[in-house]
């Protein structure tokens, strides 16, 4: 028998073939041009209704998580803003899911689908909470699980948060393939899928994004039931886009069309996420601009032919916060609300503080997730690791922070300000990236309509902002 060529170039050339056999989805059924595809048809290909998703998730300890009003924090915020301002801050406690994060919702649908389609196991490439979610769900469904994880720099030093997530994966029974930072992550995922014949539990499949829709739907229903109104704004930590996409779709499903969808990332401008030097000079391994901006301006840079996570399609605003602001809010949440939760899940809470200051008292802003903390995920571990890597950590004005060089933690709440990113600039970058796939002169009316939907604008806006 002739052995397959397992070189990097050969495996990447077989990507579409591997994806098709590892998911049971033929992306060719949706693709209409090099840039356009039938997005809703692809999402519907899962075959699941929202009721199906609720049932699937409830079978394995996922969903129906509590919604808390942060009364003490809300009162503190109101003392720092103008009279009549200071929206009520609510938080959806996703740490209550099996595996301790919202990503259990994605994993639940993927694991169920793998079992239904007859796969013996699942494979996921992730350095985040998703790996633990997949491992936990696979354990409950009787499936084998392999997690491919980017852990170390070239010195063999691992970021403590990533090491903790790997520990969690192994605790749930998964095999963890640990790699150094670089381009081999998706190569190893593809190779593992091909060699095992397992299901591709990618973060970016329709199954994964449909799993997050229940989170948005629950938020809309819980807020309406308790307060008699839809949430005015929902703040969502943004990395690869699945969190925002799924939550926004769920909110729309339950009729929250007027709810403002606010993305939030930690500003790590100047740090290259694929750089061996920069890998351990950041204290956030997800929810930062190193993922948030590239995935917003071109979603189709992943391990599937078309990414189901398309954040600009649903985003109304994009907030940026500093690492120091998030660490401050993480400590404050613990001290005044009695909730010790991981910093990555508190990125959106940090932006919510800024938004609440600008909103009226009778309005509601919802932070749509928390995550478990402990061991390397704890903010004290992250700060200790930063100091070990030569990062200055001190109190002061967080606006003076320099990513990769300093983490400046606010001295008081009114220093938590964040800043707004220019979302129209991101939209224009998206169009420029689309032009690299297909020259503007070849764009059809269908292409323009697709691009308009994908940046949440009308076709006239696309035509007025065509890349040169």
The verdict on residue 376 lying in a domain is yes
The verdict on residue 187 lying in a domain is no
Instruction: Give the total number of structural domains in the chain.
Output: 2
Q: 389 and 460: one domain? A: no
Calculate the CA 395 to chain-centre distance: 29
Q: 362 and 284: one domain? A: yes
- The residue count of the chain comes to 468
Q: 343 and 430: one domain? A: no
Query: pTM of the entire structure?
Result: 0.96
pLDDT at 379: 92
Quote the CA–CA distance of 241 and 400 in Å, as a whole number: 28
Q: 315 and 436: one domain? A: no
Note the pLDDT tens digit of each residue in 375-406. 889 999 999 999 999 999 999 999 999 999 99
Quote the CA–CA distance of 23 and 25 in Å, as a whole number: 5
Q: 269 and 341: one domain? A: yes
pLDDT at 14: 87
Note the pLDDT tens digit of each residue in 290-344. 999 999 999 998 878 899 999 999 999 999 999 999 999 999 999 999 999 999 8
Q: 265 and 413: one domain? A: yes
Quote the CA–CA distance of 193 and 183 in Å, as a whole number: 17
Q: 380 and 446: one domain? A: no
Q: 397 and 411: one domain? A: yes
The verdict on residue 438 lying in a domain is yes
pLDDT at 1: 52
The verdict on residue 134 lying in a domain is no
Residue 288 Ramachandran class (φ > 0 left, ψ -120 to 50 alpha, else beta): beta
Please list the residues that pair with 264 across neighbouring strands.
237, 319
Q: 414 and 370: one domain? A: yes
Q: 413 and 427: one domain? A: no
For the segment 45-68, the average pLDDT, to the nearest whole number, is: 97
CATH number of the domain where residue 356 is located: 3.40.50.1100
Q: Report whether pLDDT(274) > 80.
A: no
Range of the domain at 460: 423-464
CB 91 within 8 A of CB 67: yes
Residue 450's pLDDT band (cuts 50, 70, 90): very high
The verdict on residue 369 lying in a domain is yes
Quote the CA–CA distance of 49 and 52 in Å, as a whole number: 5
Instruction: Name the strand (E) or helix (H) holding 13.
Output: helix 8-13
């Amino acid at each position: 028998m002739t052995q397959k060529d397992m070189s990097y170039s050969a495996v990447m050339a077989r990507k579409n073939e591997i994806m098709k056999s590892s998911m049971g989805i033929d992306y060719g059924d949706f693709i209409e041009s090099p840039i356009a595809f039938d997005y809703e048809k692809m999402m519907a290909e899962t075959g699941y209704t929202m009721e199906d998703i609720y049932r699937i998730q409830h079978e394995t300890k996922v969903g129906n998580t509590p919604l808390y009003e942060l009364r003490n924090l809300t009162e503190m915020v109101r003392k720092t803003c103008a009279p009549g301002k200071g929206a009520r801050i609510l938080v959806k406690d996703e740490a209550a899911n099996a595996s301790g994060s919202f990503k259990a919702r994605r994993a639940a649908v993927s694991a169920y689908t793998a079992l239904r389609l007859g796969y013996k196991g699942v494979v996921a490439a992730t350095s985040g909470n998703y790996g633990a979610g997949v491992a936990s769900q696979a354990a409950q469904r009787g499936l084998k699980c392999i997690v491919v994880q980017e852990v170390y720099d070239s010195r063999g030093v691992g970021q403590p948060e990533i090491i903790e997530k790997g520990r969690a994966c192994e605790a749930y029974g998964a095999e963890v393939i640990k790699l150094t930072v670089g381009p081999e992550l998706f190569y190893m995922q593809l190779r593992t899928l091909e060699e095992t014949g397992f299901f591709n539990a990618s973060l970016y499949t329709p199954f994964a994004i449909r799993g997050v829709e229940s989170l948005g739907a629950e938020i809309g229903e819980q807020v309406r039931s308790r307060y008699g109104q839809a949430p005015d704004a929902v703040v969502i930590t943004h990395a690869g886009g699945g969190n925002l996409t799924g939550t926004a779709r769920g909110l729309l499903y339950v009729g929250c069309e007027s709810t403002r969808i606010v993305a939030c990332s930690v500003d790590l401008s100047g740090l290259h996420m694929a750089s061996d030097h920069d890998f351990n000079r950041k204290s956030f391994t997800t929810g930062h601009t190193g993922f948030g901006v590239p995935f917003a301006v071109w979603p189709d840079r992943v391990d599937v032919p078309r990414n189901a996570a398309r954040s600009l399609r649903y985003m109304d605003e994009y907030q940026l916060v500093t690492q120091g602001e998030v660490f401050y809010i993480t400590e404050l949440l613990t001290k005044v609300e009695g909730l010790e939760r991981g910093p990555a899940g508190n990125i959106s809470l940090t932006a919510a503080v800024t938004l609440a200051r600008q909103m009226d008292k009778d309005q509601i802003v919802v932070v749509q997730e928390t995550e478990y903390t402990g061991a390397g995920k704890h903010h004290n571990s992250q700060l200790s690791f930063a100091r070990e890597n030569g990062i200055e950590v001190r109190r002061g004005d967080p606006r003076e922070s320099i990513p990769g060089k300093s983490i400046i933690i606010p001295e008081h709440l009114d220093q938590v300000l964040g800043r707004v990113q220019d979302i129209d600039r991101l939209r224009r970058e998206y169009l420029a990236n689309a032009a690299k796939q297909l020259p503007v002169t070849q764009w059809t009316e269908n292409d323009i309509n697709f691009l308009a939907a994908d940046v949440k604008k009308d076709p006239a806006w696309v035509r007025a902002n065509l890349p040169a």
